[in-house]
Structure 1
Amino acid sequence: MTHDTNTSKGKASTKESAQLNQQCVDLLNEVDAFQALLKETLRNPQVVEVRQFRSNVNSELKMLVKLEERIKAQIQKSKDNSAEKKTLDTAGKKQPGTEEEDIDSDSELEQEIDLDSELEMRMVHALRSSNMPFYQSVWDTARNSCEGLLAMGKRFYWDVETRESQKGDYVGKGGGDKQANKDKRKSAYVDIVAADGDEWVKVSTISESRLLFEMAKKGWEAESDDDFSDAGSDGPPKRTVLRNFDGDDPGDDDDDDEMELIKLARDLRKAANATRERYKHPRVRIVLPKIGEGSVPEIDDILSEIRSYGVQVECKESLAARQEKKDLARLLPQPFKNFTSTLNVDCTLLLAVVSDLSHIKNIPVLPSFHRAIVRQIEVEKDMPLLPSELWPAMGSRNLLCSSEAATRMREIVDLIGTPAERARMEILLENSLGNNVDRKTLVEQFQALSDYHVPEDWALPVRIVDAQPEIKECLAKKILPPVADDVAEGLSDINYSVFMYGWAASITTITSNRTIDRQIEATIEKSRGEDEDLEGPEVWVCDTARSLVGKERGRN
């Protein structure tokens, strides 16, 4: 290899490295922009897990920067060697010296060139082995085809003990990766958790040639299933069966000859079958940006096998149709998208709506305040509850509450509420100010008691309903599933009226009582048996609550 060739390859490596570096920087900028959007719009930005993904991309950038520095040093070294050789050639012509010394000098230089070439090949290989194309594919998939992002990279387990120990870690019950005693062999790593937990997406950047090589290496063959249909019969055509084992069952423990994509689809299905998001299994999608469909029969057979696990497959043809990047706002969680047109409001949120903590921007912290109230004041300064979460959740939907919830709220406000809190309660609840007050007037009256802009389409007042007749009718007529009796037994009178009514009326219940929500879900899952379609009440849990400030200092 000549010096010029070596330098030329070094320049090519530098260009390739610079392109990857810029790609990393651009991707980090997009992720940073999304994280900034999360902070602007969500009360708890950490609910969307993207920090690990960003950390991975940043680590890749650091590696590429170091590699670029080595490439530049290699180019400079090649230039220095070239200059040295010219000097030696000149010296050999103009200065006395032996032929043997000239031969030794040329030999040493050629060895240096060989070492340079070997180093250059290693660096080129490192560049082409970069994880950056994969990270870019994952981000592009999320950006172009997903909504309601919850995580970029999360491991889900199908082991029963692991799943029980990790409940509560994450809304999708996936759990974090740092907990001890988890068997990763009984798990699947999901690249994107989207649709507010309803969809898992896995991206594989395997190429067609690599996939065909793996099929050949592991002895996969396409066989005709004669038992499915006899040739020449009027039945359905023969199907192709992919197999690389003897017998009828490859066994769960024998993965040595398993195709990686097939194993991936199988593991994703196992993990999805062991996970429920609001009573339903997440749907699974595998994205293959380098795989085409319809041109190579062997690859089509692999794709058919993947789909047999109930996994959606997307290849490069369908991905090419949506190259334009969508607005980052599409990736924000959308927890309210499935809300019913009428909302059933729990007592905990009725109190939050009238609390001074939710409406007065600068409440002086008094020595008599409980530390929980002090903490709520601090949190409220960073992200006010009503403008950032409750009013968007309610929107223009009709609002109602059970008579038990309204009675309990009135008891609490009458006992410890400030005059402003009592006034808000009277505006909020139906019939408190008479039947002839229209919504616009109620909103205006409420606005006079708040430092925040009250939405003009807020559907005041909250209608009070007698929940008991409808609950009893649904239970008597078996409209609700049999597990409803078990759910009802574990509820207090007020929680019975709130959560059972929402279930009976098929409307969304909104609450800050996460304990009861988990209790109901656990009861239903315990009684599920083989009923895959069993569902409980539709409940949305606000991640925080608000206490009343109280009308007296030093009150108990």
Structure 2
Amino acid sequence: MDQSNETHLATDGGNDTQSAISVIQDLNHRALVLIEELETFRQHLRHIRQEGSVEVAHFRSTVQSEVGMLERLLKKPDNASTTHIARSSNLPFLETVWATAKKSKKVTALQKRIYYNSKSKSLSQAMHHVGLVSKVKNSSDRKNAAVTVDAITNDGLTWIKVSLVTNTRLLFDLAKQGWQSEGSEDEDADVVFGDDDGSDVPIVKNAKDLCQAAQSYRAKTRIPAVHLILPRVQPGETDEIDAILDDCRAAGAVVFCGEDLQSTPSLQEALPTMAPDPFSLFSDTLNIDCTILLALVSEFSHAKVSKEPWFHKSLQRQVEIEGNENLLPALLYPAMGEHKLVCTKEAAKRMREIVDTIGTPSETARTAIMMGDDESKSQQGLIEEMQHWSAYEVPGYWQLPIRVVDENEGGCLSNLPEESNSVSTNMTAINRSVFLYGWGTGNTTITSNRTVVKQLESDLEKYEDLDETVWPSIWLCPTARSLVGKEKRGVKKEERKEGAWPLPDPLRREEQRRNGLDVLSSREGHEVEDLRPNGYPCNEVLEAKKAARRLVENGSAVPGEEEG
């Protein structure tokens, strides 16, 4: 049995069999509680859209296997074998790993197997492999060198190893390897280990292996710190135990013994720290990239668009994605919340150029509303107008209009770290204005430009030991939306199918509205309140169609205006 999982079964002395059954029942109950907490954690991850960013499946599977073993054990006859198996339960170790995770920040993985000499092996979340020449002599061992990290936390910056080894077990391991305490009656005597200076003691070997593996990874340019959690070890009792702990520290590990450990918070208290909602980390003002500006006015985001024969594959894919999850109510509206919104002049200019070139009348109208072309309109007035052009509810808290700013507003570029010079060298003028403005102001940049974000991160990863404050705050939207665009020439009339429309007629508009309600109800798990139970008034639809016609003619009007 692995010493890190060592457990002890308390008995009542007289009736060992009854005591064993009682403990098995207790273990089974605790295992079910652990499963329940893991499920709550999974639901929390799903709620904050981070389910794919935290690796807990293997740990959960291990706990479920333990539950199965305990339930089978309860059905077995009371005998010495039952007692022995109960004594070997892995649950106390699993509980300690979970308790450690609940005390930690930004958990990214539990019980992760890390291969530190092979780039082909899977890497842990948020970590970058830099390669390592192993000291292992056998080439096969070098290639497959691996360690198991019980918890990876702090966005990959902390690796935690848990061991339930006791002082007694450590002394037993020492005796097994061979050691002497010269002049053992002398309190100041030096502890002398065998030929390997204690490196063959399992806990020391684990510490050395973990620290060696950590050297081959970087989390935001920094080497992960190795933490060794030893809740059952009491330092200061014997020189031999203290010498082992010193060897672990000499290897590079930070050691926490029983007396050093903090109390475990409740799961509800721990969740926001274990896995914080990315939106809660946003700055007060959000910097909106051109890609998001386009998504906020796209026909794909606001209306039911059917696939057209002239759509290229990316547009067809966007129709499919939007059919499964509506971008605005599911992601962008919650992300923006009540934050003030800004964009650089360059981003606004490029967005308008695209809308003017390929935008539909509805996309043009939404652009005028979102950017506040009519300065006389209030925020609430803009929300109401935007609602005329959307199949989904436009939240009243959306801070329209988006304010256009200079990329060096307030001299913000002077706040940039020196690393930004090399990182921005290959960016286009638009991307440079967007990302450097957000970086210099400390504002969170909202973008779906994965290529630029990944290149920026890759360029920063080339540096060593960067401070956390150097990194820009960026939220990468997992999906993008383009404008619908205009039909390609040469498409025969009979090939055309119903697709995007400038503005739906009453029947189409009502169908679009009800479809949005159905999608929202399906996602929420209950019927969503219909804020327009009587549908859309015909006069409102006709008024909007007139506005759309005027937009086609001169591009100067917005929905809701009366004809002169």
Q: Identify which of 378, 397, 407 aligns with 1:467.
A: 407
Residues 1:352 and 2:295 aligned together = yes
Counterparts of 1:182 and 1:390, CA distance in 2: 48
Partner in structure 1 of residue 31 of structure 2: 24
Deviation string 1:449-495 (CA, Å, 9 cap, x unpaired) is 44444444433333223326989964xxx9632x4443233222322
- Number of corresponding residues: 464
User: In the alignment, which residue of structure 2 is the partner of 1:326?
Assistant: 268
Task: Tell which structure's C-alpha radius of gyration is larger.
Answer: 1
Per the alignment, do residues 270 and 299 of structure 1 end up closer, same or farther by CA in structure 2, a change over 3 Å counting?
same
TM-aligned CA distance change 1:405 to 1:244, over 3 Å: farther
Contact 1:292 1:317 (C-alpha < 8 Å) held by counterparts? yes
Q: Which position in structure 1 is the counterpart of 2:547?
A: none
Between the aligned partners of 1:286 and 1:30, the Cα distance in structure 2 is 24
Superposition deviation, residue 184 in structure 1: 7.3
Q: Report SS of the residue matched to 1:265.
A: helix
Question: Secondary structure of the residue that 2:333 maps to in structure 1?
Answer: helix
Task: Give distance in 1, aligned partners of 2:298 and 2:48.
Answer: 21
Cα drift, residue 551 of structure 1? 5.5
Mark the CA change 1:50 to 1:240 in structure 2 (over 3 Å): closer, same or farther. Answer: farther
Task: State which of 285, 288, 292 in structure 2 corresponds to 1:342.
Answer: 285
Q: Distance in 1 between matches of 2:270 and 2:321?
A: 26
- In the other structure, the counterpart of 2:111 is 153
Alpha-carbon distance in 2 for matches of 1:511, 1:222: 63
2-side partners of 1:242 and 1:381: how far apart?
A: 69
Q: Would you say the 8 A contact 1:291–1:315 is kept in 2? A: yes
Q: Which amino acid aligns with 2:125?
A: Y
Instruction: Assess, with a 3 A threshold, how the Cα gap between structure 1 residues 413 and 279 changes in structure 2: closer, same or farther.
Output: farther
Asked if 1:34 corresponds to 2:41, the answer is yes
Q: How does 1:290-439 map to 2 (within 5 A)?
A: 290-293=232-235, 298-303=240-245, 305-307=247-249, 311-317=253-259, 319=261, 321-322=263-264, 324-327=266-269, 329-330=271-272, 331-360=274-303, 362-429=304-371, 432-434=373-375, 436-439=376-379
Does the CA-based 8 Å contact 1:279-1:535 persist in structure 2? Answer: no
**Identity over aligned pairs, percent:** 38
Deviation digits for residues 353-399 of structure 1, max 9, x if unmatched?
A: 22233334x54445554443443344345443334433343333333
Residues 433, 245 of structure 1: alpha-carbon distance in 2 compared, 3 angstrom cutoff: farther
Residues 48 and 277 in structure 2, CA contact (< 8 A), matched pair in contact too: no
Tell me the distance in 1 between the aligned counterparts of 2:339 and 2:229.
37
- The corresponding residue for 2:477 is 542
- Mark the CA change 1:303 to 1:461 in structure 2 (over 3 Å): closer, same or farther: farther
Inter-CA distance 142–524: structure 2 relative to 1 (3 Å threshold): closer
Q: Which of 48, 58, 63 pairs up with 1:52?
A: 58
Checking the alignment, whether the CA contact within 8 Å between 1:49 and 1:152 is kept in structure 2 is yes
CA change 1:316–1:195 in 2 (3 A) is same
- Once residues 192 and 369 of structure 2 are traced to their aligned partners in structure 1, the CA distance between those partners, rounded to angstroms, is 69
Q: Is the 8 A contact 2:129 2:218 kept in 1?
A: no
Q: In the superposition, relative to structure 1, how do residues 418 and 533 fare at CA in structure 2: closer, same or farther (>3 Å)?
A: closer
The residue identity in structure 2 corresponding to 1:433 is D
The answer for the alignment partner of 1:275 in structure 2 is 217
C-alpha distance 404-155 of structure 1, shift in aligned 2 (>3 A)? farther
| CA positional deviation for 1:30 | 2.5
1:516–1:244 distance in 2 versus 1, CA, 3 Å: farther
* 1:473–1:48 distance in 2 versus 1, CA, 3 Å: closer
SS at structure 1 position matched to 2:434? helix
- Structure 1 gaps, min length 5: 1-6, 76-119, 176-180, 224-238
Taking the TM superposition and a 5 Å limit, the aligned residue runs for 1:51-200 are: 51-69=57-75, 71-72=76-77, 75=78, 120-143=79-102, 145-159=103-117, 162-163=118-119, 165=120, 170-173=125-128, 186-200=145-159
1:458 to 374, 382, 398: 398
Distance 1:135 1:505, change over 3 A: same
Of the three residues 402, 424, 441, the one matched with 1:488 is 424
Distance 1:139-1:464 versus aligned 2 partners, 3 A rule: same
Kept in 2, the 8 Å contact 1:167–1:173? The answer is: no
The structural deviation recorded for 1:282 is 4.3
The amino acid across from 1:357 in the alignment is F
CA contact (8 A) 1:154 1:174 kept: no
CA positional deviation for 1:60: 2.4
Query: TM (normalized to structure 1)?
Result: 0.70
How far, CA to CA, are the matches of 2:236 and 2:253 in structure 1? Answer: 18
The AA in structure 2 aligned to 1:153 is Q
Q: CA deviation at 1:209?
A: 1.9
Distance 1:380 1:20, change over 3 A: farther
In structure 2, the residue matched to 1:91 is none
1:131 aligned partner, one-letter code: N
One-letter amino acid matched to 2:172 = F
Distance 1:326 1:423, change over 3 A: same
Quote the offset at 1:137 in angstroms. Answer: 1.8
Task: Say which SS state the counterpart of residue 432 (structure 1) adopts.
Answer: coil
Query: Contact 1:157–1:274 at 8 Å: present in 2 too?
Result: no
Deviation at 1:167, TM superposition (A): 8.5
- SS across alignment from 1:326: helix
Q: Is the 8 A contact 2:162 2:228 kept in 1?
A: yes
For the structure 1 residues 454 and 147, does the alpha-carbon distance in structure 2 shift closer, same or farther, using more than 3 Å as the test? Answer: farther
Structure 1 counterpart of 2:435? 499
Separation in 2, partners of 1:240, 1:426: 83
2-structure distance, mates of 1:501, 1:425: 22
Contact map agreement 1:244 1:257 (CA 8 A) in 2:
no
Which residue in 2 is equivalent to 1:446?
386
Displacement, 1:543?
A: 2.0
Contiguous gaps of at least 5 residues in structure 2? 1-13, 131-139, 183-187, 492-564
Partners of 1:396 and 1:290 in 2: CA distance: 48
The one-letter code matched in structure 2 to 1:171 is A
Once the two structures are TM-superposed, the CA of residue 447 in structure 1 deviates from its matched residue by: 4.1
Q: TM-score if structure 2 supplies the norm length? A: 0.69
**Which one-letter code corresponds to 1:546 in the other structure?**
R
TM-superposition CA deviations, 1:161-192 (whole Å, max 9, x none): x34x56887333479xxxxx995764432222
Change (3 A) 1:426 1:529: same
472 and 8 in structure 1: CA distance in 2 versus 1, 3 angstrom threshold: closer
2:217 aligns to what SS in structure 1? coil
Q: Secondary structure at the match of 1:171?
A: coil
Q: Which residue of 2 aligns with 1:207?
A: 166
Which of 523, 543, 548 in structure 1 is aligned with 2:459?
Answer: 523
Shift in Å, 1:147: 4.2
Contact 2:114 2:148 in 1 (8 A): yes
Residue pair 1:343, 1:507 contacting (<8 A) in 2 also = yes
* 1:117 counterpart residue number: none
Q: Read off the aligned partner of 1:62 and give its amino acid letter.
A: G
SS for the counterpart of 1:391 is helix
**Against the structure 1 CA distance between its residues 193 and 340, is the aligned structure 2 distance closer, same or farther, given a 3 Å change threshold?**
same
Instruction: Provide the secondary structure at the position in 2 that maps to 1:467.
Output: coil
